[in-house]
Chains A and B, each alone.
Chain A
């Protein structure tokens, strides 16, 4: 029974990793931009929520609603005035610029909030649990997983059911032809990064409620996100969820065997998938 419990905890943890990864996957899918500052943006989102909670006395769940438009605007401007300038034939400039951004963000957070670890305030809801037969599930992990599923369903709806989504796909397919049709790729990319930072904010909420965070944990979140995206196959959002679940289950099973193996087990699972299916579990037909 302990094993069933371990695996279910892992699956729910996978929801958190899928939230980390969805924004990364969205941006890469639309503009082939690898954002190395993604993990640090999640940590920044957590600090933003913390500040809002402290200043306005809001519950973290309400603070997210204030943080979301701010983060969307940040993403929009970041893409429009910085990252768009790095896009082109050469893949190196975006990597260098986002790597620099990652360092700058970490240091700014360190300067502003010190290296002490922080946590979003918990309440009755965040510590509640429900009994499901022989096992007990925390409400927070369930909420995290449900949010990940909602985000992915929402993104799929956006992509395949809306005009904006069609413009996303057209621009991703061929930005030059899209601009001949009257689409402005620079604005499409800015909107996409804005949406990615909305997802980042949701991820930040659950990151901050689940465990302590400090300015230096961003890069590790980035790696989990990368692994989830690559296991799932680039460009497949449901694949990203499955990738997150695989890492989550590997980590909890590893930790159940020996607490020191938690992180290592996740990385080993990633390497095994790479060996067996180098293009991920659900690769796109082309590119």
Chain B
């Protein structure tokens, strides 16, 4: 089954055409890597898929449904999750609370229904020991893990990772990749953009 299909998607900011006639399909279960230098339009492509930006032309289908005109919030509810290039955790909330906020509002559920799921996510992303630490006190790798966890807390079928390995050392990068591979192995389709090649290979 096709998870995501873009057909002739274009986006311009004034005279600058950032995404020009992009078409591709992502089958369910795939892990797709997209590489490009800074300013190539990778994040714009993600914003188009998540609905944070509207495309000027073309169509976007998610699991066979046309979501071209669907709001970002609703796309999140139907299963498109993303991480942000620059992690923006709520610094004064604990790691666990950060996830609860994402899960309750991202899935439209009450806290009682998402508590266990959030703990599971933290287990998988190896942040469970830091669950009660304020997010402001995390190291960079832990912040990346939190960003990943927060995207996972919305229980996405398609996970978009935006330069999540940026700024990490080689060793940290390997540790994070292992976690992402585990998530992929559990059946989550992943699109990952990065401007360093080795993270994707």
Contacts and interface: CB of A to CB of B under 8 A. Distances in A.
Contacts of A178: 90, 101
Given A163-B111, A182-B105, A173 B97 contact: no
B23 interface: no
Main secondary structure of the interface of B (DSSP, over half): helix
Main secondary structure of the interface of A (DSSP, over half): helix
Contacts, number: 45
A174 interface: yes
B128 interface: no
A174 B111 contact: no
A169 B90 contact: yes
Interface in A163-204: 163, 166-167, 169-170, 172-174, 176-178, 180-183
A181 B93 contact: no
B17 to A, nearest CB: 26
Nearest to B92: A173
B90 A170 contact: yes
A181 B50 CA distance: 13
Interface in B81-129: 88, 90-93, 97-98, 100-102, 104-106, 108, 110-111
B88 A174 contact: yes
Interface residues of B, number: 20
Contacts of A166: 93, 97, 100-101
Interface string B14-36: 00000000000000000000000
Interface in A146-176: 163, 166-167, 169-170, 172-174, 176
A286 B92 CA distance: 10
B8 to A, nearest CB: 28
B76 interface: yes
Interface in B46-103: 72-73, 76, 88, 90-93, 97-98, 100-102
Contacts of B98: 170
A187 B108 CA distance: 16
Nearest to B73: A182
A177 B88 contact: yes
B165 to A, nearest CB: 21
Given A182-B73, A182-B105, A177 B90 contact: yes
A134 B92 CA distance: 47
A174 B76 CA distance: 20
B57 to A, nearest CB: 25
A164 to B, nearest CB: 10
Given A163-B104, A181-B105, A173 B111 contact: no
Given A178-B101, A183-B101, A163 B110 contact: yes
A230 B73 CA distance: 39
Contacts of A176: 88
Nearest 8 pairs between A and B by C-beta?
A182-B105, A173-B90, A177-B88, A170-B90, A181-B105, A163-B111, A170-B101, A173-B92
14 contacts: A163-B111, A169-B92, A169-B93, A170-B98, A172-B92, A173-B90, A173-B91, A174-B91, A177-B90, A178-B90, A181-B106, A182-B73, A182-B105, A182-B108
Interface of A: 163, 166-167, 169-170, 172-174, 176-178, 180-183, 286
